[in-house]
Amino acid sequence: MEKSSKYCFDTSVFIEGWVRHYRPSSFPHIWENIAQLLEKKVIVMPREVYRELRPDNPKDDLSVWIRKFKTAVIEPDVDQLQVAGEIANKYPASTSYNKRKSILADHYVVALAHKYKLKVVTYELGKGSVTKPHIPDLCSEYDVGLKTFSDFIAEQSWVFTNKNP
């Protein structure tokens, strides 16, 4: 993996950001900037995040867009699989919290960030239950840095202005 990598994005950043808060039609520059960071691998994601976005069976414009950034996908290695497995074994309920979702990226987000000392960017809030911790809880447990999407934008010093009256 590139030494320039700094951030590991969770699926929620793409879905919440793209669909609910920063729609590309209203905030195109955010997504242009994210695209540049994905291309440079400053932002990376585990394979499981990529799969959750369904690029191989696109149902929406986000699924189509994310296909361009397969190079920012990091395949799990033995170390990451060990951490992801440790999380799954310690919190077995977290692997079945949503039966509709066959892919559970949270463990892999934390494992990837832990291995490469990346900051996790997520919309998830902490304080899941003792048996089903959320990403912020796992980041705290595994000493992984954490950012909200808004904090990430501020850390990048991105400023967007609307010059239209």
- The CA distances from residue 13 to 90, 92, 163, in Å, are 25, 24, 27
pLDDT at 97: 46
In contact, 1 and 116? CB cutoff 8 Å: yes
Q: Hey, what long-range contacts does 161-165 have (CB within 8 A, 24 or more apart)?
A: none
Range list of β-strands (E), 10-152: 43-46, 73-74, 119-121, 145-147
In contact, 69 and 39? CB cutoff 8 Å: yes
pLDDT at 3: 64
pLDDT at 103: 53
Single-letter amino acid, residue 137: D
- 124 contact partners, CB below 8 Å, separation of at least 6: 10, 12, 134, 135, 136
Q: How many other C-beta atoms are found inside a 10 Å radius of the C-beta of residue 60?
A: 12
Q: Indicate the domain borders of the chain.
A: 7-155
pLDDT at 59: 78
How far is residue 110's CA from residue 62's CA, in Å, rounded to a whole number? 23
In contact, 103 and 46? CB cutoff 8 Å: no
pTM of the model: 0.88
pLDDT at 160: 82
Please give the share of the chain, as a percent, with pLDDT higher than 70: 88
pLDDT at 132: 79
pLDDT at 133: 85
pLDDT at 68: 94
Domain 7-155 class?
A: alpha beta
Q: How many other C-beta atoms are found inside a 10 Å radius of the C-beta of residue 23?
A: 14
pLDDT at 126: 73
pLDDT at 165: 59
Which tokens belong to 59? 């149902």
In order along its 165 residues, the chain shows pLDDT tens digits of: 666 679 999 999 999 999 999 999 999 999 999 999 999 999 999 999 999 998 777 778 999 999 999 999 999 999 999 999 998 888 877 665 455 554 579 999 999 999 999 999 999 887 767 777 889 999 999 999 999 999 999 999 998 887 765
